[in-house]
Structure 1
């Protein structure tokens, strides 16, 4: 099967989308399939990948607010490549220009819109939450839901990256045909990486002894991550418990977060850890992983932490909530720091050995990216097979009309 992904979010210096696709190309190749990514670039060029698959860059203008990414402006440049590659499946995930380019392209391929994010939750809900209720915001931005309904009409299948996103979209009346949960590079993560010496060192960085409780949080410093909620929750819990927090990440709000935690004796900010093995050691060595983002659609870092055997403290909605289960987790009302503090206290009141044992059992069940890729191509194969009788019937009708 040849799959072409028209992806405006792929960039050589990008983040999650690049990581997902760079991993997906060799996995699909190992399964006997080919993935070609059409991405905006600073020049027209092709980057072949070892073992099969490629990135085909189309020269495109840069996004005005983030020059790492480009915009597909020339429709014919994209549709010409689709004609050239003649894929079995064509995917896209951008709700803007690529959605229309792919949807209106006249080719034989199965058309799949793969939903990775929820713009309503990530932006509108966050921007206006202090001014109106969620219901009012949903109503005010109903135009976006209607817009989605229009561009999705030509697609054969609409796939969400997990049950959290599928439920949100269906509740708004947006079509979703299947949810196929993403996975992680599970081979990097294991509870066996726990290192008591590293745990002691991190607690010491937080000004706490070995008897303290170590929390770890990882992610971009961006508003949707809800870091102020996490920080407030840890500080509230710290009024009665010896709790330290290590935050790993950077982003547009780094300076603001540095100022925010400057007076917090037990919270430390660290730059991103690029070494996957070292990052996994940190997650495996913490006493719990804490998360604040309630708008994400798949709990990637939360799943990685669980694969390291870390108990979880997460919001009660969103992708992270899908990962959390009572034997190894505590959830709290999203965006509520007091509830977060209560969840921290509840978790550390539980039997620590039982918590870690439950998390270790769950660790081996975290879906891998190989599981995700296999389920996705199987779904596409079934969708293609289901189309054949309709296409044959239509061809027969054309033959009769021609006669």
Structure 2
């Protein structure tokens, strides 16, 4: 099967869309399929990406940094997208979080009568509300227009599927995200790293992710005031400077990746996610794979991942006191932390990317079969 993956983000970017697109390409290659990725150009402006992490060819289209958030690149109109679809002789087009480049990919695929699978990953409406204070309805009209044209839309969580259906998007099915249970595992817990992060033996409470307004990492401020606790924040983004002031005593480690990130995850005592706009929340799943109990907002993707009283605690979104209290409950009870961590690890054992890849191929095959039936 020849698949063109049109994605709004791809490595070296670090975010959920980029990671999922990379894993999709890897799964296709591992099964003998032939993917091609089309993505916005990096800051270096290269047309193709020779990054050894990429398992397949990558076509880069011109892009500009998003004003106020330069880590995000927005694709510009380009003939390279349509040319790539033709040159690759695509059987199917996979649209990863389509909004700008993905909308153009949908239009190009429609002109060429190619089947499309659109993967919903980003709460663009929530982002519009957070950054502009308006525009949520406009964003949803755009989302609906793009996804309604797809042969199938894949939602990562029950909450995301419900939102899509409520906003009039047809043909929605569930497709969650995988996790690398070999990379993220409890045995990577590192006593030397723990001593470096918490030299007085404090409990380590961690956040991993982008440092941006929609993530509301400032909700950890009250956790910083708890006795015997050290807050560790991993990631970068436009809020990094403000968070150094907002989180007194916290260790802001910046961007970490690969095995180093996996050691940090496994060395935490509690993982806290604070953002209310997650359609899935991959970092929660990585914490669970690492055997770490989770505190997360009771909204969006975490509702499918965290089982209260079993793998962690769900709190009202945006409630700093509830976050503090949940952390304190876990801090006071080592046995509870151990039980939640073990249950979290067990819960994700069957969610490998291989298993999720099988589900994706099944969606592709069903879409292609439906197209064949209609043609017949």
Same fold? TM cut 0.5: yes
Richer in helix (by share): 1
Q: Is the 8 A contact 1:29 1:52 kept in 2?
A: yes
Matched, 1:360 2:360: no
- Residue 134 (structure 1) aligns with: none
Pick the aligned partner of 1:115 from 120, 123, 133. 120
Task: Name the residue aligned to 1:14.
Answer: 13
CA change 1:86–1:252 in 2 (3 A) is same
Who is 1:370 aligned against? Answer: 354
User: Aligned pair in 2 of structure 1 residues 197, 148: CA closer, same or farther (>3 Å)?
Assistant: closer
Q: Aligned ranges for residues 212-227 of structure 1 at < 5 Å?
A: 212-227=202-217
Quote how far apart the aligned CAs of 1:222 are. Answer: 0.8
> Which one has the largest radius of gyration?
1
CA offset digits 1:161-211 (Å, max 9, x no partner): 23232222223333351120011222111112223443344222xxxx43x
1:305 aligned counterpart, secondary structure: helix
Q: Is the 8 A contact 1:289 1:310 kept in 2?
A: yes
* Mapped pair 1:80 → 2:80: no
Q: Using the alignment, how far apart are the partners of 2:327 and 2:336 within structure 1?
A: 16
**Are residues 156 and 217 of structure 1, via their aligned partners in 2, closer, same or farther at CA, if it must alter by over 3 Å?**
same
SS of structure 2 residue aligned to 1:356? helix
1:347-402 deviation per Cα after TM superposition (whole angstroms, max 9, x unaligned) = 2344x23432342243144222222222111111022113322210xxxxxxxxxx
- 1:195 and 2:200 are equivalent in the alignment: no
User: Secondary structure in 2 aligned to 1:292?
Assistant: coil
Equivalent runs, 1:288-327 vs 2, <5 Å: 288-325=270-307, 326-327=309-310
**In the alignment, is the contact (CA less than 8 A) between 1:184 and 1:369 conserved in 2?**
yes
CA distance in 2 between counterparts of 1:48 and 1:283 reads: 25
Shifted more, 38-47 versus 374-383: the winner is: 38-47
Q: For the residues of structure 2 that align with 1:50 and 1:184, how far apart are their CA atoms?
A: 17
| 1:286 corresponds to | 268
**Structure 1's 193 and 148: CA in aligned 2 closer, same or farther, altered over 3 A?**
closer
Partner in structure 1 of residue 99 of structure 2: 95
How many residues align? The count is 365
Residue 162 (structure 1) aligns with: 157
2:56 corresponds, among 36, 53, 56, to 53
Distance in 2 separating the partners of 1:115 and 1:348? 36
Residue 244 of structure 1, aligned match among 216, 220, 230: 230
Cα distance change, pair 8–283 in 1 and its aligned pair in 2 (3 A): closer
Q: Is the 8 A contact 2:151 2:171 kept in 1?
A: no
Mapped to 1, the partners of 2:254 and 2:53 lie a distance apart of: 31
Deviates more, 1:293-302 or 1:49-58: 49-58
2:178/2:356 contact within 8 Å kept: yes
- Displacement of 1:118 after TM fit? 0.8
- Structure 2 residues without counterparts, runs of 5 or longer: none
CA drift of 1:61 comes to 4.6
SS of the residue aligned with 1:186?
A: coil
CA offsets 1:52-92 (integer angstroms, 9 cap, x no match): 6311234x253463387352413x43223212222121022
Alpha-carbon shift at residue 335 of structure 1 (Å): 0.4
The TM-score, its normalising length taken from structure 1, stands at 0.81
Task: Report the Cα offset of residue 127 of structure 1.
Answer: 5.0
Aligned-residue CA RMSD (Å): 2.7
Q: Which consecutive residues of structure 1, in runs of 5 or more, have no partner in the other structure?
A: 129-136, 393-403
The whole-number CA distance in structure 1 between the counterparts of 2:207 and 2:39 is 32
Q: Distance in 2 between matches of 1:172 and 1:313?
A: 29
CA distance in 2, matches of 1:45, 1:197: 40
Q: 1-side partners of 2:77 and 2:6: how far apart?
A: 13
Q: TM-score, normalised by structure 2?
A: 0.86
Distance across 2 between alignment mates of 1:225 and 1:170: 25
Aligned partner of residue 164 in structure 1, secondary structure: helix
Q: 1:84 to 1:250 in 2, by over 3 A?
A: closer
